[in-house]
Amino acid sequence: MRIATWNVNSIGARLPRLRAWLESAAPDVLCVQELKCADDAFPREQLAELGYESASYGLGRWNGVAVLSRIGIEDVTRGLVDEPRYEEATEPRAIGATCGGVRVWSVYVPNGREPEHPHYQYKLRWLEALRATVAAETAATDKPFAVLGDFNIAPTDTDVWDISLFADSTHVTEAERKALAVLRDAGLTDVLPRPLKYDHPYTYWDYRALAFPKNRGMRIDLVYADATFGAAVGDAYVDREERKGKGSSDHAPVVVDLEL
């Protein structure tokens, strides 16, 4: 079984490349983030033509997550346990679904903007709600389980191209990394993908300043898997080819092959 995650940075703008990638990479399940579209505008039929069912959670121009599957979608859950709101608004950032006997969550963790910004505290509260959701779900089922998506956290200093440039920046702070450690304490492990080129499995490169050609990237799209899911992992890689060329997302897909 092949499961992937990809922040597409607008499913509308990315639809031609998304469809081509689904045909070439042929994942059984794809967790998608940053739809930037409401559910009534979700391109359900265009994905169904390729054999994928969709469960989406989008409210408009920002955020939005989905699970695509060609092996069935059941028990869809939108939002987290005791999920915080930002400026009194609910943001669509998490959707869970069971596909082919595997429980997956597609998540788009808040960015945080700056450590002193209210959005950063929102990010930490949101990560606590994710922990609570993981604890509740893994206690209730023995299905292989994983949270996949854009965590907006670089787990270690080597997960950014130059840590010296990240002083006082979000994505690398102690508190954010502690939130990942808490998820690991809850029984999840970081499935480290292999890079297809260079030394580090970056998943994101800014559109600006030649970041991709210079390989100034970050590993922020993560797969956090429970023991059952983790034990089944045969291969994992970042499909950096998909970051190339015109009309790409600024994130590359992370692909995980399970021996299930």
Partner DNA sequence: ATGCCGAGTTCGACTCGA
Number of other residues whose CB lies within 10 A of the CB of residue 13: 14
* Known binding-site residue numbers: 7, 34, 150, 152, 250-251
Q: Is 49 exposed, middle or buried (0-12, 13-18, 19+ CB in 10 A)?
A: exposed
Contact criterion met (CB below 8 Å) for 224 and 188: yes
Active site residue 82: no
Check binding of 208 to DNA (CB under 7 A).
yes
Question: Which residue lies nearer to DNA by CB, 145 or 224?
Answer: 224
Q: Contacting DNA (CB under 7 A), which of 43, 96, 110, 144?
A: 110
Q: Contacting DNA (CB under 7 A), which of 3, 5, 6, 7?
A: 7
Q: Contacting DNA (CB under 7 A), which of 30, 37, 68, 148?
A: 37
Check binding of 194 to DNA (CB under 7 A).
no
Check binding of 196 to DNA (CB under 7 A).
no
Instruction: Give the whole-angstrom CA distance, residue 172 versus residue 195.
Output: 21
Shortest approach of DNA to residue 50 CB, angstroms? 20
Active site residue 117: no
Q: Which of 200, 193, 192 is nearest to 238 (CA)?
A: 193
Active site residue 119: no
Binding residues with DNA: total (CB under 7 A): 38
Query: Residues 128-167: x/- map of binding to DNA (CB under 7 A)?
Result: ----------------------x-x---------------
Contact criterion met (CB below 8 Å) for 30 and 5: yes
Instruction: Give the whole-angstrom CA distance, residue 42 versus residue 48.
Output: 11
Check binding of 200 to DNA (CB under 7 A).
no
Question: Which residue lies nearer to DNA by CB, 136 or 165?
Answer: 165
Question: Which residue lies nearer to DNA by CB, 154 or 258?
Answer: 154
Question: Which residue lies nearer to DNA by CB, 36 or 70?
Answer: 36
Residues of 165-198 as b/e, b for ≥16 C-beta within 10 angstroms?
A: ebeeebbbbeebbebbebbeebbbbbbebebeee
Contact residues for DNA (CB under 7 A)? 7, 9-10, 12-13, 34, 36-37, 60-62, 110-111, 113, 119, 150, 152, 170-171, 197, 204, 206-210, 212-213, 215, 218, 220, 244-248, 250-251
Q: What residues act catalytically?
A: 108, 150, 251
